[in-house]
């Protein structure tokens, strides 16, 4: 993995971008401390690959088991509806 400073990257961006396109990763440093990573974006073709990429980036969580998702039972609520509560509060001067 190549390490280059911000100034060097800025001055020769096109050269380093070509290297990234070829699959190389470049660590960008500022005063010898890593601040960024230039890396190629993986080419995704299928829907499954897109899901796996999103899961690796922690954007989604894939199911643990295969198969149908079980149907959940409806929750029965008791008491007043939210609309009724809001209307009562408005009448009482909230």
What CATH number does the domain containing 13 carry? 3.40.1620.10
Pairing of strands 33-38, 26-30: antiparallel
At residue 11, the pLDDT reads: 97
User: Which helix (H) or strand (E) element contains residue 33?
Assistant: strand 33-38
Residue 28 forms part of a structural domain = yes
pLDDT averaged over the chain?
Answer: 90
- Total number of domains constituting the chain: 1
Residue 41 forms part of a structural domain = yes
pLDDT above 70: percentage of residues in the chain: 99
| 17 Cβ contact list (under 8 Å, min separation 6) | 38
- Domain extent at residue 24: 2-56
The residue with tokens 């890593």 is 34
At residue 49, the pLDDT reads: 87
Question: Per the structure block, which two tokens stand in for 52?
Answer: 């796996």
Residue 63 forms part of a structural domain = no
At residue 15, the pLDDT reads: 96
Mean pLDDT over 51-79 rounds to 85
Among 3-7, 43-47, 56-60, 88-92, top mean pLDDT goes to: 3-7
Which pTM was predicted? 0.49
């Amino acid at each position: 993995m190549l390490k280059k400073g911000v100034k060097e990257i800025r001055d020769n961006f096109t050269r380093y971008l070509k290297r990234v396109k070829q699959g190389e990763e470049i660590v960008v440093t500022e005063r010898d401390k890593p601040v960024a990573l230039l890396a190629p974006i993986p080419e995704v073709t299928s829907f499954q690959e897109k899901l796996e990429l999103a899961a690796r980036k922690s954007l989604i969580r894939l199911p643990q088991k295969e198969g149908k998702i079980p149907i959940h039972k409806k929750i029965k609520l008791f008491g007043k509806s939210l609309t009724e509560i809001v209307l009562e509060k408005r009448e009482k001067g909230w």
